[in-house]
């Protein structure tokens, strides 16, 4: 599939290639995954996305593994198959254990069902939950 | 709003009231929030939801605050306004700082945009991301 | 709220009013609900939506109550608060009992959680489930 | 694809295998579909999901075919391709005719479009639709 | 995949074939894409969908390319992979340039992230945005 | 509602206030809408969002009105009530006529229903739609 070509290094323009090189350098790998190759047809969007991603996912008040698990949770609820695969891999690369993975899935499933229940019941927000 | 009555203690049947009492005891509060009162029209569903929630959200390989942040992330992507309010409150009650909250929002926003990009580009899953 | 005016009979144009009258006649009620009043700014869209709705929701191989419950289930998953309220009312008007309502909620909740699990696990479709 | 291994009987642990056996016995088939094999890496989640599914989908105030059609409708709106395939197969196995299938699709399509319209118009809920 | 057979001309009934012929005539092509072949098992739904599509997508106050870009944006947010592919192709056939495509992707990504932020923050609608 | 305080000018810190001032200057208005006031608790996220929005929504290969209509379409499919209200207002401010608004709604509704149909039918992507 894909609605655009996945650009190889040879096919990518100079701007896109510079981003590919930065991805390789920062991640210390030779591999540039398909998401970036698909974005490479629009080098400005490619760069903006890559730059922002680094800011957002950097260690801070939340550790990078927690951020990856949150990313995976959002990707699941948004039904993004590509993202579910890439961020499961990323979470494992950051040390997610099988036990953590299992609990993460259980929370995602639980939230999905109570989200549906709160919506179908039209539950009004409790006063005390408003800021 | 609400598509069903929110049952007060007086209006709830014995089975529902027993769940309300368990919620109060386990949470060490007098307050039973609207979600449970809306579910109380179906005591079996009320009990099953409450029992499962306790199992899923208990401390384990992931700490309860991480679980609450994941819950909030899923609720956002599913567009559940009630859940967003109740789980922001729950995360704060579990100690989420302003800095953690801000980073959580940034990850949710980032995931939402790359989810959309991966979907519109139809990016095929990289071989290495498959189990 | 509302992003457009809800047109009263007096404010609606002749084409929209004719649809309002048809709604009243077919439903044997004086009441025209807000959805139709919001659509009345575009009489062609109003008429097309109303005409199609009657075809789709007419008794056929599925009975009208089953159709209303399916409609409510879709509206829940799509997070449409208005639709959840209007189709809960419609299902009750068609005879949905409390027991049926409770079981419907339980199925919606169950589906929501296994949908999330199948997505996060990236489960490939079994050969035998393909037509 | 898949973000986790699909466990064969040989690869599954004793707890997971016991669930597989229960699935086979209750469904009177030798076949265990991929969803359960993907969940088998977390036997507790596998068992909780299977146990709850049986409670929810049992005959009751709604007949099992209606429940399957509702399940399919939710799965569609949630964009779960796996679930759409497995629950179409399940509905056919429970006797869904071609005419019923066609009407179900028409209701799902209709709800999807009016959900979108009600949302974009920001239609406020009519007083009479609130419980 | 597919949950229903994709009907060839030979397998389609007379009513479905008439719609296929109309698609070929109006689009001036021999090709009937899979969406229509999948719908052909229910000729009434096939015809209603095709008829309505022509009305909606006809040139009017918005030009057809803008309509295709909106269609693609909705399909992305709804996570419909088939639709993303077919409407990207359709937009290109209507003259969408690479620069337009890139800007469209950027808007979709931007909207997705601010949608998530507005939802997680529970931002109340400003008085001035209400009709 | 709101899960965070909406910061007034007086309550906002210096960094947030600088963004508010930039919004007022660029938009030539005294009014800062609730979305920005809700984000102001995290000035870095506020600034990043505002900066990126200006880049994305600037006139380019697509005109600003088309961008607003696409934004509204995405917001609808994502079920973001706040965004639907704010971007309907923004599209009107950019000159969207009633006729354009009506056609936009019709396209959104049409896409929503064919998205659902393509998903429930599991239609495989035609070879010719792949890049």
Domains belonging to chain B, first-starting first, are 1-58 (1.20.1290.10), 60-121 (1.20.1290.10)
* A78 near C CB under 8 A: no
List chain D residues with CB under 8 Å of E4: 88, 101
**Beta carbons of B74 and C101 less than 8 Å apart:** no
List chain F residues with CB under 8 Å of D110: 113
pLDDT > 90? residue A109: yes
List chain C residues with CB under 8 Å of E125: 1
* Interface chains of chain D (3 or more CB pairs under 8 Å): A, B, C, E, F
For the segment B66-83, the average pLDDT, to the nearest whole number, is: 98
What's residue F128's pLDDT? 96
pLDDT digits (tens, 9 = 90+) for A20-41: 999 999 999 999 999 999 999 9
**Beta carbons of C56 and D110 less than 8 Å apart:** yes
**How far is the alpha carbon of F42 from chain B, nearest alpha carbon, in Å?**
6
* E33 near D CB under 8 A: no
List chain A residues with CB under 8 Å of C119: 76, 79, 81, 84
Q: Which two tokens stand for residue D16?
A: 């997971």
What's residue E23's pLDDT? 98
What's residue B39's pLDDT? 98
pLDDT digits (tens, 9 = 90+) for A36-85: 999 999 999 999 999 999 999 999 999 999 999 999 999 999 999 999 99
* Interface chains of chain B (3 or more CB pairs under 8 Å): A, C, D, E, F
pTM reported for the whole predicted model: 0.98
Find residues 86-105 of chain B whose CB sits inside 8 Å of chain A. 86-89, 97, 99-100, 102-104
**Beta carbons of E109 and B114 less than 8 Å apart:** yes
Taking the C-alpha atoms of residue B130 and residue D1, their distance in angstroms, rounded to an integer, is 5
DSSP string covering D72-112: HHHHHHTT-HHHHHHHHHHHHHTT--HHHHHHHHHHHHHHH
Burial of B47 from C-beta contacts in 10 A (0-12 / 13-18 / 19+): middle
DSSP string covering D13-74: -HHHHHHHHHHHHHHTSS---HHHHHHTTSHHHHHHHHHHHHHHHSSSSS-HHHHHHHHHHH
What's residue C56's pLDDT? 98
* A123 near D CB under 8 A: no
* F116 near D CB under 8 A: yes
pLDDT band, very low/low/confident/very high, at D1 (cuts 50, 70, 90)? confident
* E27 near F CB under 8 A: no
What's residue A25's pLDDT? 98
**Beta carbons of C53 and D125 less than 8 Å apart:** no
**Closest CB from F53, F73, F119 relative to E70:** F73
Query: Smallest Cα–Cα separation from F36: which of F48, F20, F57?
Result: F20
pLDDT > 80? residue D121: yes
List chain C residues with CB under 8 Å of A79: 119
* F79 near D CB under 8 A: yes
- N- to C-terminal Cα distance for chain D? 45
Q: Which two tokens stand for residue A96?
A: 């997610």
**Beta carbons of F42 and B81 less than 8 Å apart:** no
Q: Which two tokens stand for residue D118?
A: 């009600």
Q: Tell me which chain E residue has its CA closest to the CA of residue D91.
A: E3
List chain B residues with CB under 8 Å of D125: 1
For the segment B100-114, the average pLDDT, to the nearest whole number, is: 98
* D66 near E CB under 8 A: no
Check if the beta carbon of residue D14 is closer than 8 Å to that of residue D41: no
**Closest CB from C62, C81, C107 relative to D67:** C107
pLDDT band, very low/low/confident/very high, at D118 (cuts 50, 70, 90)? very high
pLDDT digits (tens, 9 = 90+) for D97-114: 999 999 999 999 999 999
What's residue B1's pLDDT? 77
**Residue % of chain D over a pLDDT of 90:** 98
Q: Which two tokens stand for residue F40?
A: 């102001």
CB atoms within 10 A of CB D52: 18
pLDDT digits (tens, 9 = 90+) for C14-57: 999 999 999 999 999 999 999 999 999 999 999 999 999 999 99
What lies within 8 Å, CB to CB, of D29 at 6+ separation is none
Q: Residue B69, Cα to own-chain centre: how many angstroms?
A: 9
Q: Which two tokens stand for residue A10?
A: 């040879």
- Report yes or no for ipTM above 0.95: yes
Task: Give average pLDDT by consecutive 10-residue segment, chain E, 131 residues.
Answer: 95 98 97 98 98 98 98 98 98 98 98 98 97 88
Cα angle C63-C107-C117, degrees, rounded to a multiple of 5 = 135
**Closest CB from C2, C55, C125 relative to E131:** C2
Taking the C-alpha atoms of residue C33 and residue C12, their distance in angstroms, rounded to an integer, is 14
* Interface chains of chain E (3 or more CB pairs under 8 Å): A, B, C, D, F
What's residue E1's pLDDT? 77
What's residue A1's pLDDT? 77
List chain C residues with CB under 8 Å of E130: 1-3
**Beta carbons of C78 and D112 less than 8 Å apart:** yes
**Beta carbons of B107 and A67 less than 8 Å apart:** yes
List chain F residues with CB under 8 Å of C4: 88, 101
Check if the beta carbon of residue B104 is closer than 8 Å to that of residue E100: no
CA distances from E9 to D44, E22, E45 (A): 49, 13, 17
Residues C7-46: b if buried by 16+ CB within 10 A, e if exposed: beeeebeeebbebbeebeeeeeeeebbbbbbbbbbbbebb
List chain A residues with CB under 8 Å of E105: 42, 45
For the segment D31-59, the average pLDDT, to the nearest whole number, is: 98
What's residue C1's pLDDT? 76
Burial of C61 from C-beta contacts in 10 A (0-12 / 13-18 / 19+): middle
pLDDT digits (tens, 9 = 90+) for C72-106: 999 999 999 999 999 999 999 999 999 999 999 99
CA distances from C12 to C39, D114, D125, E73, F61 (A): 10, 20, 20, 31, 38
């Amino acid at each position: 599939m894909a609605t655009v070509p996945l650009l190889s290094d040879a096919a990518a323009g100079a701007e896109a290639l510079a981003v590919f090189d930065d991805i390789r350098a920062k991640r210390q790998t030779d591999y540039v995954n398909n998401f970036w190759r698909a974005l490479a047809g629009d080098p400005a969007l490619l760069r903006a996305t890559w730059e922002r991603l680094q800011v957002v996912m950097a260690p801070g008040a939340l550790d990078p593994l927690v951020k990856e698990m949150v990313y995976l949770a959002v990707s699941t609820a948004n039904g993004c198959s590509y993202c579910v695969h890439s961020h499961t891999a990323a979470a494992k690369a950051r040390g997610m254990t099988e036990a953590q993975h299992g609990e993460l899935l259980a929370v995602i499933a639980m939230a999905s069902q109570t989200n549906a229940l709160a919506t179908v019941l039209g539950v009004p927000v409790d006063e005390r939950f408003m800021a």
